[in-house]
Chain A
Amino acid sequence: MAVIETRLAPGTMNPMHRLMGILLAATLLLPLLALASQGDALAWPDLSDPLTQALRLPRIATALLVGAALAASGAALQALFRNPLADPGLIGTSGGAALAVVAVLALGWHALPLPLAAFAGGLAATWLILALTRLVRGGLAGLLLMGLVVGAFCGALISLMLFLSDDLTLRAASAWLAGNLAAATPERLGACALVALTGIALLLWIARDLDCLLLGEDAARSLGVDVVRTRYLAAIGAALATGGAVALSGVIGFVGMMVPNLVAVLVGGCRRRMILLSAWGGALFLLAADTLARTVVWPIDIPVGLIAAFAGPPFFVWLFARQQRSLVNG
């Protein structure tokens, strides 16, 4: 919205310029590193290699898309829930999307495209959270708690469905649920990209209203914001972005919480910038995590969701402690 006007001591680098420099450098280096990492060795990538074209490039594109969608969704959900701990994987948006995808797989409804099912599931879960919070008059804390409850309930339904499934479905669904980028095909990538990017665009469109929502409901309404409409649009945008990501890669937690919070700590700013920078950072984070997942215990390909899940909890604890400190200090 506005240019940050910071007064810096001579010789001090503007935090925004520093972050942009890091992101630009990572944008140049990480895809190259991902292409060059072949098994336990590094080799200059050959783009004409059919293996690279069929497997490596779609996987890189998938990592970038999923990371961007999850982080953008997290940045918007944190404004919607007015809580920096909100994450599509934690509050049930991903859980709802995953439940819908598992239902499609388990029930054999192959006519229904997975990205659409994931979007519908994510949207249903987010709306259910908003409706339950209104029903129990839980306020902001209630919003997050209802999110956790809906996420846990989706998890229970997924477990039940897997328990009742045949072995083949169980294996396919379990591998997908752990958060894996290996199964992406260019066709599925295209459909999911359309859904996820539509979601990110919607979130960017309402970003200024989300800024106002962060000030509190009364302040937002006094600035002319239609709070109910903004909440619904944010839920739809986050569900589209998360649904597109989940349909591609399964449930990958913590990316949507970690990346926007890092951006907030490093540079902050209005929600539009937060969403854009989070999407950029999230894309690179997941590409780095996936490169690590492919190579760290080669030849085993660890699900990238596990890497994020290992990094997430310590980050969550640090963030929670930081938030408590800021509450104490006013």
Chain B
Amino acid sequence: MAEMVFDLNEISLLRGNRTVIDNLSLHVPAGQVCALLGPNGAGKTTLLRLMAGLAKPACGQVVLGGDDVYALSAAERAKRIAYVPQHIPAGLPLTVTEFVLLGRMPHLGPFSQPRAADRAVLDEALARCELEQLAGKRLDSLSGGERQRAAIARALAQQAQVLLLDEPTNHLDLRQQFRLQRLLQTLAAAGHTVIEVLHDLTLAANHATWLALLDAGKLVGYGSPDKVLEPAALSRVYRWPLAVSQQVAGWQLSSAASTSML
């Protein structure tokens, strides 16, 4: 049996009177690229934040490698879980190098300077995200896609076992989307666990090895792509007729709506 990295046991989260996560249990396997799928408002980002220890459920437990995520100190959690939010604020006066080096925060004291080992981690993170040429540029002079890559490099610099990414392909062009997914697969092969929120079902089907489908805060399906990508279930969750096909080139998901429905 595969080692479970995250065990989410019967977690619920309310926002006002609204149930955002509804008695959800999920066991995320280690060393995989996992994609959280679902329509807008399904609770994907909230679930990711719960895993990152950034939100606390009203009830239930989030366990990481046997430890309660909320019992870990903030620094310990940061060494084990890296999190990339959806948005990176505009107007930061930092250079790319300084921004990515913030990923070493959990490993540095308040006045300690980055050492050679931190520099090596920085260089590797920059190289993996093709940012070497932009290292000295200011973040506020970069495009949205370049900023997104810098945010991913910052997460890589954290050297955490678990990488949580909220819609990481936002702002990325096609090449960078595929490059990122290949990088995530490489990280997973090296033993990291990657969990990403994705809206592009085809991208998720072809690059993630494990999927979880959410709807209205509930887990509708999870497992390998061929188990989760059921046209009937997907059409029900997305409230739109969807067709799924698996070809030599990979999975293909498309609308099955007739033109009269559009």
Contacts and interface: CB of A to CB of B under 8 A. Distances in A.
Given A218-B54, A223-B102, A208 B110 contact: yes
Interface string B120-158: 000000000000000111101001100000000000001
A84 B92 CA distance: 10
A214 B102 CA distance: 11
Contact of A4 (B49, B108, B136): B136
Contacts of A208: 102, 105, 108, 110
Given A216-B85, A268-B95, A326-B91, A222 B110 contact: no
Given A84-B91, A215-B92, A226 B74 contact: yes
A5 B136 contact: yes
Nearest to A227: B74
Nearest to A223: B105
Nearest to A226: B74
A223 B154 CA distance: 10
Interface in B74-95: 74-79, 81-83, 85, 87-95
- Interface SS majority for chain A: loop
A12 interface: no
Q: How large is the interface on B (under 10, 10 to 19, 20 to 34, 35 or more residues)?
A: 35 or more
Given A224-B77, A224-B78, A326 B95 contact: no
A122 B146 CA distance: 40
Nearest to A260: B93
Given A2-B98, A4-B136, A223-B78, A216 B89 contact: yes
Contacts of A223: 78, 102-103, 105-106, 158
A219 B89 CA distance: 10
A219 to B, nearest CB: 6
B114 interface: yes
A224 B82 CA distance: 10
A233 B76 CA distance: 22
B104 to A, nearest CB: 9
Nearest to B77: A224
Interface residues of A, number: 35
B95 A2 contact: yes
A222 B78 contact: yes
Given A224-B74, A269-B98, A1 B114 contact: yes
Given A218-B54, A222-B52, A226-B74, A264 B83 contact: no
A205 B110 CA distance: 6
Contact of B90 (A3, A224, A330): A330
A53 interface: no
Contacts of B52: 218, 222
A259 to B, nearest CB: 14
Contact of B95 (A82, A212, A269): A269
A17 interface: no
A268 B87 contact: no
A236 to B, nearest CB: 16
12 contacts: A1-B98, A2-B95, A4-B95, A4-B98, A208-B108, A218-B85, A222-B54, A223-B78, A224-B77, A225-B74, A269-B98, A326-B91
Interface of A: 1-7, 82, 84, 205-206, 208-209, 211-212, 214-216, 218-219, 221-226, 264, 268-270, 274, 323, 326-327, 330
Interface of B: 49, 52-54, 74-79, 81-83, 85, 87-95, 97-98, 101-103, 105-106, 108, 110-111, 113-114, 135-138, 140, 143-144, 158
